[in-house]
Structure 1
Amino acid sequence: MESTVSEPEAAPESDVRFPIVLRGYDRRQVDEYVRVAEKRVERHEKARRVAERRLTKAQIPAPRTAVSEQERGLGKRIEKILEVAKSEAEEIKEQARKESEKLLTAAEKTAADAENARVETERAAQQEARRVISRAEQEAATIRTAHQAVLAELGQIADVVEELRDRFGGEAEAEHRAETGAADPVPAPAGSTRAG
């Protein structure tokens, strides 16, 4: 005769909470929950098989012999025991089926929640990346515009300096010569060369 090995009951599915991590639920915690759930289903399935074996053994007909009153009473008690065992086996089977359905539903919901969390996190990251890129492009455009304005202004300043040099350069050179007493250079006659 087999006996079932009991293990501490896990929390009911309605009490299960998985903490949210960066990219969804903690995978190790979900794996552990599914492992415990599978053990519970396995335990119920084992109990169902044991009950079915007991029921099958109990249904083997006894050889026909002359039955005494005491034996008939014992047979009725055995029939009652078999009915109870059969009823318990059916209950265990039904309980195992319901437990399996609950666990499957909970696992599907957990997987769907994890996928939704992953999709939401990915979408939020993409939006943030687009915002950062847009801001960087705006700042780069602002810097380019300011750079072009500075270059244009420097070009204008260079033009003004050149114009002032053209306009006042001759006067300043003449003043300088006057102050130093230097004579205006006399242009050499055309075609003459200096002997050396």
Structure 2
Amino acid sequence: MDNMVSEADTVPESDVRFPVVLRGYDRRQVDEYVRVAEKRVDRHEKARRTLERRLAKAQVPAPRAAEADPASGLGKRIEKILELTKSEAEEIKQQARKESADLLTAAEKTVADAESARGETERAAQREARLIVSRAEEEAAAIRTTHQAVLAQLGLIAEVIDELRERFGGEAEAESPAETPVPATE
């Protein structure tokens, strides 16, 4: 299946195009794209949870102010490092949330587009089916009319034959001593 979407082949959601197939989109390709998008959302969500756990582990209680510690300068450096780490972690979480929301929005739009295409395809198929049924009914009516006309003609022919038999029946039998077989046509 060379038209399937793989995670390595994905393009930004704004550049995604699905080929149009027989009055709609290729349902398998859309389903595959949605599946890949959902995997990306899950992956970003797992990364966000992992960073939150790491951040929770990295947080240490602040040193008590009452203690006069000779390494108090070291505590300030650690606090700055922790603040910087927290800030970076928050930025990473925000970026992951944004990417997750963007992917979810794109996936929802893709699903909505696919549903819309499916609905349009279904409506077109119903219109076409009604047209085919209508044409078939018209052809059947024409065949019935032709059939009735042929039956009427056969009835008239039968009447003429009966008349001819009545008129010439006795004479024809007297004149023809033996019936001659009709030669077969090829």
TM-score (norm 2): 0.72
Which residue is equivalent to 1:89? 89
- Cα gap change, 1:52 to 1:12, in 2 (>3 Å): farther
Q: Secondary structure at the match of 2:69?
A: coil
Q: Does 1:66 align with 2:91?
A: no
Kindly state the Cα deviation for residue 63 of structure 1 after the two structures are TM-superposed: 7.8
Which piece of structure 1 moves more, 87-96 or 72-81? 72-81
Which of 16, 24, 27 aligns to 1:24? It is 27
* In structure 1, C-alpha distance between the alignment counterparts of 2:169 and 2:121, rounded to whole Å: 70
Query: Gaps spanning 5+ residues in structure 2: where?
Result: 1-7, 178-186
1:79-158 alignment to 2 at 5 Å? 79-158=79-158
Query: Gaps spanning 5+ residues in structure 1: where?
Result: 1-7, 180-196
Aligned 8 A contact 2:19 2:26 in 1:
no
* One-letter identity of the residue aligned with 1:131: L
Which piece of structure 1 moves more, 11-20 or 101-110? 11-20
Aligned 8 A contact 1:41 1:96 in 2:
yes
Which residue is equivalent to 1:163? 163
- Cα gap change, 1:14 to 1:165, in 2 (>3 Å): same
Aligned 8 A contact 2:45 2:100 in 1:
yes
Kindly state the Cα deviation for residue 146 of structure 1 after the two structures are TM-superposed: 0.6
Q: Note the alpha carbon deviations across 1:56-95, whole angstroms, 9 max, x for none.
A: 22x4425853334xx3432332232222122212212222
Aligned 8 A contact 1:37 1:103 in 2:
yes
Identity of aligned residues (%): 57
* In structure 1, C-alpha distance between the alignment counterparts of 2:55 and 2:19, rounded to whole Å: 39
Aligned 8 A contact 1:44 1:96 in 2:
yes
Aligned 8 A contact 1:51 1:89 in 2:
yes
Which of 43, 52, 67 aligns to 2:47? It is 43
* One-letter identity of the residue aligned with 1:110: T
* In structure 2, C-alpha distance between the alignment counterparts of 1:129 and 1:46, rounded to whole Å: 54
* One-letter identity of the residue aligned with 2:114: A
Q: Secondary structure at the match of 1:133?
A: helix
Kindly state the Cα deviation for residue 49 of structure 1 after the two structures are TM-superposed: 2.9
* One-letter identity of the residue aligned with 1:39: R
Of structures 1 and 2, the larger Rg is shown by 1
- Cα gap change, 1:170 to 1:19, in 2 (>3 Å): closer
Aligned 8 A contact 1:13 1:106 in 2:
yes
* One-letter identity of the residue aligned with 1:61: P
* In structure 1, C-alpha distance between the alignment counterparts of 2:28 and 2:109, rounded to whole Å: 12
Kindly state the Cα deviation for residue 143 of structure 1 after the two structures are TM-superposed: 0.9
